[in-house]
Structure 1
Amino acid sequence: MTTATSADSAPPDQGARDGALARLGRTMATHTRWVIGIWLIALVALGAAAPSVFTSLAGAGWQANGSESVQVRELAEQHFGGNSSAAVQVVVHSDSQQISDPELQDTLARATALFAEDSRFGDVVAPQPGMTISPDGHTGILIAGANASTDDMVSAIDQLGGKLSDLSTNEIEVYPTGASALWSDFNKANHEAMIKAEMMSWPVTLAIMVLAFGSLVAAGLPLLLTLAGLVASAGGLAILNEITPISVWAMNFAMMFALALGIDYALFLVARFRDALRKNPDPRAAVAETMDTAGKAVVLSGLTVLVSLTAVLIVPAPAVRTMAVGIMLAVIFVLAATLTLLPAVLGTIGAKVNAGSLPYARRQQHRSPLFASWASLLHRHPWPFGIGALLILIALIIPVFGLKVAMPSIAVVPEDAPVRQGYELVQQQFGDGAPGMLQIVTTAEDAEGTARVAESIDGIAMLTPAQPSEDGSDLVMLQAVPSVDPSDPAMESILADLRERLPESARVGGAPAENLDLQQALNDYLPIVIAVILTLGFALLLIALQAPLIAVIGTLVSLLSTGAAFGVAKLIFQDGHGSGLLGFEPQGFLNGWGPVFFFAMIFAIAMDYTVFLLSSAKEHYERTGDPKIAHIDGLAHSGRVIAAAAAVMVAVFFTFALADPLPPKEMGIILGVAVVLDAVLVRLVLLPVALRLTGKAAWWSPTWLRRVLPKISFSHG
């Protein structure tokens, strides 16, 4: 009878033969109490900060830093009592009374008193005849200036909005509106929808995990690991927010990615650990083998995600940057837990990882016969499957060339939200463009010429008289009311005409201008972001796989699935196909941050599966030198994990499709479709076909390149 060699009685050179990750895994599995204890302390510390994350994170940041519109907002806050795009507008309306009547004057006075109690608000301007009082006298707009940052203004209206709405009576309607109120209601609606979606995804995820693993314990481990990553990420973001403002959207995306990637990584490691246990029942040796093989793939995948998101940091928009930071922080914590806490737990439970196994699981092997058969079929008939998958992807990519993007309209806010009700009331009483006035700041000397040119611009319905600065500076402000809705495409040409024809001293801003400037910045930086992501993604694959051809192929096929996902997004969210079934009204465009941000996220996910498949194939090629074995066994050993991981991601993302607000619905459907396309057509068809057709050339590397690159091997022992 042969007995397995324990870790304690392993040959003296065992540690020497172990790679760095194998040694890390063995150490974690040996010192489990210390590892688990340290993690518990860290989670308690970070968990203490976590509950405040949703109330403390920043609510604004949707701007292009350094743009002309941001300059105008800063000038308005410095010289004009805070009457900037961040100012809060309170719409007061009565069907039976006029603004001059005592009851409405009392309502306005009480609203003014609420603003006076909060130092974040600047000057309060009462409704003015001919400007902020409607022609019939039944509607007035009270303006409370911004005396704080845009983030603080959103926070202020978060706290004060309910009190302002409570001033409404049976005869008087009161609605806080304006950009700050818009982001407040927008963030609340999306946060609530995303939390509901997260809660719905957990039971579905657990069911998929149980089916994939066939064991309750093995299925539960990834969820526990992910929970640790979520708590750590939330606490980390709350602490980081004390240093620099972090968008509340960062937490929403961090939660989603921590759940999806945490399960992916744990799934890959736990599946490999169970296989290693069959060969050597010593848990520490099994952990070492797992980390030396699957652990490398997880590290590479995590680095790929981080690199992809790093490219987004070059976009000069605080909200976009900090959303990327949130996901990066979540990935770092998930990676840390995967590489330290998970090996410690696996080393502790050992064979108990299979506890609670379902009957079929006892016969389950790491090498899936189903995926081995599929790989053999692809090996025999690569061209029909490869061409078919490629044609489908190309057909879905074609609509991308008609894709339009713009910042979201008021339609993304629920119909019963106070900001939307106030917005629509202002349009009814003052005209379509009234909710999005453009602000022009110029010198007193150029005021007359500026007014004359602005009034002659096609699309300007009204211009207010020049308002002198409060601090005696040589600046004046004029406000131009467009004749179109702030989200109308014509707004872009109106803004361009103003900036082109006004005197050189004039600067044009306002909420619509900020949206257009942000959209322009996103458009300008998109090619740069794509180039950086593709370059860094290729470089990581090249370093890991040591083979230029397969690194190029892996990068290009990831680009195919990413492009196809955006093609589907165009058909659904721009053209409206399936909008009735999905329960939304298409805006006629994709939300402006989508191309930059979703490209980074989709490409990161695509490369995640690329790494899982190619690392498995490379491991078998290193052992045998046979490209056929690498192709077939690579898919046979990784196919089930890729399918299960994709199913989990689809479940997580598609739950967001059930949300009422459009942005989380858009995000969930685009990412979910991307995962389906990537897992089914690319990882399980196109990439294996590419391995089959390229044969040994896929793994060839010139001698000079092998000398330059660090030595990385995916085989163990």
Structure 2
Amino acid sequence: MRAATRSSSDLRRPDTTPRPGLLGRVGGWGTDHRRLVFGLWLAAIVVLGAFAPSVFSSLAGAGWQANGSESVAVRELAQEHFGGNSSAAVQIVVHSNSSTVSESSMQAVFTQIGRELGSDPRFGEIVTPQAGRTISRDGHTGILIAGANASTDEMVTAVDDHKSPLTTLSRSGIEVYPTGASALWADFNKANHDAMITAELFSWPVTLAIMVLAFGSLVAAGLPLLLTIAGLVASAGGLVLLNHITPISVWAMNFAMMFALALGIDYALFIVSRFRDALTQRGDRRQAVVDTMDTAGKAVVLSGLTVLVSLSAVLLVPAPAVRTMAVGIMLAVVFVLLATLTLLPTVLGALGPRVNAVSLPYAKKQEHRSPVFHRWGSLLHEHPWPFAVVSLGILVLLALPVFGLKVAMPSISVVPEDAPVRQGYALVQQQFGPGAPGALQIISPAAEAQAAATTASSSPGIAMVTPPQPARDGSGYALMQAIPTVDPSNAQMGSILDTLRNRLPADALVGGAPAENLDLQTALDDYLPVIVGVILIMGFLLLLVAMQAPLIALMGTVVSLLSTGAAFGVAKLIFQDGHGASLLGFTPQGFLDGWGPVFFFPMIFAIAMDYTVFLLATAKEHYEKSGDPHTAQIDGMAHSGRVIFAAAAVMVAVFFSFALADPLPPKEMGIILGVAVLLDAVLIRLILLPVLLRLTGHAGWWSPAWLRRVLPSISFAHN
């Protein structure tokens, strides 16, 4: 019998190093094939970046409507059968203190306006000023109506294209102002875009300063900014391409710029911070990348999924502008997430120890495990109840005003005072009455038109009704305009519209710009509970999958509601009640803009869950290693506290920079999100949630055996 022999390889000790997970393998592969990764990203940025510069001029400017509503049906009927005299039609207001509409100087201006707009196929029938309808009583003001022969988005672009030639017709004491819903969105989108760019330019240097202080190295501080820029450029080009398939609101990029900047830096902070620690421990750059992606990478993926799920709930709202804003942010988050998971680890692998290059002499190069936050975690562990009561009390107190919150679609005051549409709006009100800029349109069968006109004339809140105008195409419809007695943004408009609709014959439909706003607000209010419910359920399920612990998943979801409620409570005090309005430089409307709760709630909740995932993932990693909830709570805080604090500082700086904007909606967005991040990071992630981990102990991390069998196995520990 031949003796068995063993080679030296058979005598080797078995490799006990755990096999890297999927993200770790992706990070290691990127480090090994960095030229390929850099090449693919460079190609993507070059190709998509070629479309990026046209993002603001290419995207849609309208879409603020409730699809399927009565008001949208009226607009479509008016556009099809009445020469485009719908809510999207453009009104050109011409006024002179010295001349009347009938004089040759004014008539010459109207002729030039008709020639300017008549050559553009996007405009429908041109209706010159009519006595008793669109000529003021003193004869010094006339309104030319240019019908809409294109979509609402194309009409906003058409106003942009012709606004300058029209306003230059103002001369020799004659004033020319384009106004109407299409002109309003054109001026408002421009003001909003300018404000966003100004705020971004202000936030970038502040962000870089915070990053330098957080990392103590210019190279480490610059990486998150460069990666975020790459993601934003790619997403901007992607939005332009997507706009060729379906109209995407220009607001999508406005929101995406702000949100993706804050979130991208947040993710990169977590990854870079963890890589520096792993590099110190391992000494090998490739293994450091693998360790980082197997731990912090998982937290980033789960955070990104939470953000995407939260924003996807907004897609339930049947409003194109609201839906595409969510799509824009989601697309930006996807690109930033891809850059964080592929390009960033590859760059880190290429840099290795040089990630700490250009260290500043006055900025201490910190360790990943913060002694300051270790002491803070220990203090919370020793005295949990006082901190829990104080933080919870502050959040509840700030959230109480939310029960008196009122919402409505924005008024003309959101447009700068020197905007042509606002000047024309004020002139129409002065000459024709407070409700004239917001005429309601009634379309009914021609046989019932006179009865509908009579009923509308006697309806409360209606100042006058124009005689029915039969459709010229023989469709059997008739159109009339009902002028309200109040400004379109007045709170009474809702009851005026409801009463009018209830009194009119069943076949009569009521629309117009005020009705479209009110119908949209109704849809937003109706869908808000559904959106909140979907987000809470999906947020809980994602946390449950990630943490494998029902109680912690429930706590993480519930506490995220506290910062959301407190942020909207502060918003009520500021934007509805006007506290601090003079300091912030705005005039309160008496309500919060209608899309605020539907849109800001998912954004706030997504950010709150972002911090929740970072804190709990770090705590779970240490619980898996030690099996001790005390160690998990304190070390979780020691290893994530600085990152959460720095990320929150960056987000607050980015969001609060929008408080400098002149238009009210960007100001609302910046302050609400900034307050939410500040409250969430300080009172919840750095106090309340760690205290709850302390109080629940092992019970917080417990999971029944049947649930562990059902859930996928996710571990954050990496030995």
TM-score where L is the length of structure 1: 0.98
The match for 1:566 among 565, 568, 571 is 568
Residue of 16, 19, 28 corresponding to 1:17: 19
1:140 paired with 2:137, answer no
C-alpha distance in 2, partners of 1:280/1:378? Answer: 31
Rounded Cα–Cα distance in structure 2 between residues aligned with 1:668 and 1:77? 37
Q: Is 2:274 the partner of 1:256?
A: no
2:216 and 2:365 in contact (8 A); partners too: no
SS in 1 for 2:134: coil
Deviation at 1:616, TM superposition (A): 0.3
Pick from 586, 593, 615: which aligns with 2:588?
Answer: 586
What are the within-5 Å matches in structure 2 for residues 113-512 of structure 1? Answer: 113-359=115-361, 364-512=366-514
532-541 or 350-359, which moves further after superposition? 350-359
Structure 2 distance, partners of 1:497, 1:410, is 24
Distance in 1 (alpha carbons) for counterparts of 2:272 and 2:282: 15
Give the superposition deviation at 1:12.
Answer: 8.8
- Structure 1 position 243, deviation (Å): 0.5
CA contact (8 A) 2:90 2:183 kept: yes
Shift of 1:359: 3.8
Q: Give the aligned partner of residue 4 of structure 1.
A: none
d(CA) in 2 for partners of 1:56, 1:620: 49
Taking the aligned partners of 2:606 and 2:484, their CA distance within structure 1 comes to: 41
Amino acid at match of 2:111: A
Q: Counterpart of 1:124 in 2: which secondary structure?
A: strand
Question: SS of the counterpart of 2:245?
Answer: coil
Structure 1's 360 and 628: CA in aligned 2 closer, same or farther, altered over 3 A?
farther
Q: Following the alignment from structure 2 to structure 1, what is the Cα–Cα distance between the partners of residues 659 and 67?
A: 32
Aligned to 2:7: none
Separation of aligned partners in 1, 2:32 and 2:14: 17
Does residue 62 of structure 2 align to residue 60 of structure 1?
yes
Residue 613 of structure 2, aligned match among 569, 592, 611:
611
Cα displacement string for residues 65-94 of structure 1 (whole angstroms, at most 9, x for unaligned residues)? 000000000000010000000000000000
- Distance in 1 of aligned mates of 2:56 and 2:366: 43
State the one-letter code of the partner of 1:207.
A
Q: 1:93-130: per-residue Cα shift (whole Å, max 9, x none)?
A: 00000000001001000000111110000000000000
Would you say the 8 A contact 2:456–2:462 is kept in 1? yes
| DSSP 3-state at the match of 1:484 | coil
**Residue pair 1:95, 1:138 contacting (<8 A) in 2 also:** yes
- CA–CA distance in structure 1, aligned partners of residues 704 and 636 of structure 2: 23
RMSD: 1.1
- Structure 2: distance between partners of 1:180 and 1:13: 69
Match of 1:557 in 2: 559
What is the letter of the counterpart of residue 388 of structure 2?
A: G
Shift of 1:170: 3.0
Match of 2:6 in 1: none
Partner of 2:5: none
Q: How does 1:32-47 map to 2 (within 5 A)?
A: 32-47=34-49
Q: 1:477 to 1:285 in 2, by over 3 A?
A: same
Q: 1:96 to 1:626 in 2, by over 3 A?
A: same
Task: Return the offset for 1:17.
Answer: 1.3
Residue correspondence of structure 1 range 599-638 to structure 2 within 5 A: 599-638=601-640
Cα deviation code 1:140-174 (max 9, x no counterpart): 00000000000000000011111111110031000
Contact 1:15-1:23 at 8 Å conserved across structures = no
Give the match's secondary structure for 1:346. helix
Whichever residue aligns with residue 615 of structure 1, its letter is A
CA contact (8 A) 2:371 2:638 kept: yes
CA–CA distance in 1 between the matches of 2:437 and 2:246? 31
CA offset at residue 282 of structure 1? 1.0
Alpha-carbon distance in structure 1 between the residues aligned to 2:473 and 2:459: 30
The equivalent of 1:528 in structure 2 is 530
1:16 to partner: Cα distance: 6.1
Matches within 5 A, 1:680-691: 680-691=682-693
1:489 counterpart letter in structure 2:
A
How has the CA–CA distance of structure 1 residues 41 and 440 changed in structure 2, closer, same or farther, with 3 Å as cutoff?
A: same
Contact 1:616-1:714 at 8 Å conserved across structures? yes
Q: Quick one: which amino acid aligns to residue 19 of structure 1?
A: G
CA shift at 1:13, angstroms? 5.3
CA–CA distance in structure 2, aligned partners of residues 13 and 497 of structure 1: 79
CA contact (8 A) 2:215 2:365 kept: no
Distance change in 2, residues 1:427/1:11 (3 Å):
farther
- Name the amino acid aligned to 1:427: Q
In structure 2, relative to structure 1, the CA distance for the partners of 1:167 and 1:11 (3 Å cut) is farther
Contact 2:83–2:125, Cα closer than 8 Å, also in 1: yes
**Deviations for 1:348-393, whole angstroms, at most 9, x for unmatched residues?**
0100000011346665210000000000000000000001000000
Contact 2:217 2:365 in 1 (8 A): no
- Distance across 2 between alignment mates of 1:12 and 1:253: 53
Show the counterpart of 2:84.
82
2:675 maps to which residue? 673
Deviations 1:164-189 (A, max 9, x none): 11110031000000000000000000
Instruction: Please point out which of 614, 618, 642 is paired with 1:640.
Output: 642
Do the aligned residues in 1 keep the contact of 2:49 with 2:234 (CA within 8 Å)? yes
Distance of 2:264 and 2:427 partners within structure 1 = 46
Supply the AA of the counterpart residue of 2:456.
Answer: A
Amino acid at match of 1:716: H
What SS class does the counterpart of residue 17 from structure 1 fall into? coil
How big is the shift at 1:280?
A: 1.1
Can you give the 5+ residue segments of structure 2 that lack an aligned partner in the other structure?
Answer: 1-11
Q: Distance in 1 between matches of 2:429 and 2:507?
A: 31
Give the conservation status (yes or no) of the 8 Å contact 2:155–2:182. Answer: yes
**Helix, strand or coil: the match of 1:479?**
strand
CA distance in 1, matches of 2:503, 2:52: 51
* Distance in 1 of aligned mates of 2:630 and 2:540: 24
Residues 12 and 255 of structure 1, relative CA distance in 2, 3 Å threshold: farther
CA offsets 1:536-561 (integer angstroms, 9 cap, x no match): 00000000000000000000000111
**In 2, distance between residues paired with 1:510 and 1:672?**
36
SS in 1 for 2:31: helix
The CA distance in 2 between the partners of 1:321 and 1:15, in whole Å, is: 47
CA distance in 1, matches of 2:163, 2:641: 52
Cα distance change, pair 145–11 in 1 and its aligned pair in 2 (3 A) = farther
State the AA in 2 paired with 1:467. Answer: Q
Shift, 1:281, TM fit: 1.5
1:105 and 2:107 aligned: yes
Shift of residue 448, structure 1, vs aligned partner:
1.6
User: Tell me, what secondary structure is at the counterpart of 1:127?
Assistant: coil
How many angstroms apart in 1 are the aligned matches of 2:171 and 2:364?
67
**C-alpha distance in structure 2 between counterparts of 1:491 and 1:507, whole Å:** 16
Q: Which amino acid in the other structure matches residue 325 of structure 1?
A: V
Q: 1:12 to 1:167 in 2, by over 3 A?
A: farther
C-alpha distance 194-11 of structure 1, shift in aligned 2 (>3 A):
farther
Whether 1:705 aligns to 2:707 is yes
Letter of the aligned partner of 1:433 in structure 2?
G
CA distance in 2: counterparts of 1:14 and 1:78, whole angstroms: 74
| Residue deviations 1:482-525 (CA, integer Å, cap 9, x gap) | 01000011111110011101001100000000000000000000
